[in-house]
Amino acid sequence: MEDATSHGRIDMAVLHAGRVFLFEFKVVDRQATGQALRQIKDRGYADKYRARGEPIHLVGIEFGRAERNVVGFEVETLGG
């Protein structure tokens, strides 16, 4: 589900088993750039969920335009 925050829209938010998972997907030219995870952090997408007191997992996934496959995957955990 796409979820609105005060700073934009996160591509997918999953609340499961006492944890929050926030996903951002990006299409990049060839190599992973880290821009998916950077967008989650720069736009403060996790702020909306901090009051829950649950671990928040930020997941940035990048797909290669030509490969049409995952070329980059980063995870960072906040709280917990």
How far apart CA 35 and CA 24 sit, in angstroms, is 9
**Reported pTM:** 0.85
pLDDT confidence band for 80 (50 / 70 / 90): low
Structure tokens, 73 = 């995957």
Residue found by looking up tokens 């060839």 in the block: 30
The total number of structural domains in the chain stands at 1
**Which CATH number is 54's domain given?**
3.40.91.60
Which residues form the domain of 63? 3-78
* 73 Rama sector, left if φ>0, alpha if ψ -120 to 50, beta otherwise: beta
pLDDT per residue over 3-44, tens digit each?
655 557 899 999 999 999 999 999 998 888 999 999 999 999
Taking the CA atoms of the chain, what radius of gyration do you get in angstroms?
13
